[in-house]
Amino acid sequence: MKALIARRIVFDSFERIHERTNRALVLNSSFQPVKLVSWQKALILWFQGKVEILEYHHVAARSASSSFKLPSVMRLKRYVNPRRSTRLKFSRENIYLRDSYTCQYCAEQFPAKELTLDHVVPASKFGRKDWTNVVTACRDCNHKKGNRTPLGAGMPLLNEPRIPTWLPVTQPNFQIENMPEEWRPYLGTG
């Protein structure tokens, strides 16, 4: 029954949804941050009885017959061993996390929607699409660098691209300025 309700939930059309309210922080049963999940996954975990909700966003989702405040912070009822993997998934979000949402050319921090991925050695010059050849760049720097290497463009890299040694699932890296207030006590920043 609850799973059926979860599939039919929509945001209340009267609420303006903010980027910070569409995710929930999941903590292990020991209160260690594990990962971020979408509001839909958060409600499903709650319906399945797998989590205890500790904090809520000030936004509700509704179905035809019910209304639910969106979870902001949830604690797993059972301890889950953190993933131990030798291969970290190569993705846009993980590149941004590795580079701390900072342009590797001008050293300024940006929100994810204002960032791009840049091939250090351009793809047209047989540059690989992997951890050691892709960096975070703002749109202006990426455009300025164009189809050149950093040396050829006179734009040295802030940090040499590398394969990260951390996993976002065990050590989430959250931008302080974009973090909902409810998360701060659980991440040691409040």
- Taking alpha carbons only, the member of 21, 31, 22 closest to residue 54 is 31
Better-scored residue on pLDDT, 32 or 48: 48
| Size of the chain in residues | 190
Task: Tell me the pLDDT tens digit for each residue of 7-41.
Answer: 444 444 334 445 556 789 999 999 988 888 889 99
Beta 23-27 vs 33-38: how paired, if at all? antiparallel
d(CA 95, CA 134): 8
d(CA 111, CA 114): 6
> End-to-end distance of the chain based on CA atoms, in angstroms?
38
Q: Where are the alpha helices (DSSP H) in 85-168?
A: 92-98, 139-145, 150-153
Task: Tell me the pLDDT tens digit for each residue of 85-104.
Answer: 556 788 898 899 899 899 99
What residue ranges define each of the domains in the chain, with the CATH number in brackets? 2-83+168-187 (no CATH), 92-153 (1.10.30.50)
- Taking alpha carbons only, the member of 29, 125, 18, 114 closest to residue 72 is 18
- Taking alpha carbons only, the member of 20, 27, 26, 33 closest to residue 59 is 20
Beta bridge partners of 33: 27
- Taking alpha carbons only, the member of 114, 115, 24 closest to residue 71 is 24
Q: Percent of the chain, pLDDT > 70?
A: 78
Most confident of 38-47, 79-88, 179-188: 38-47
pTM: 0.49
What is residue 183's DSSP assignment?
G
The answer to whether 45 and 54 have CB atoms below 8 angstroms apart is no
Burial (CB count within 10 angstroms: exposed 0-12, middle 13-18, buried 19+), residue 14: exposed
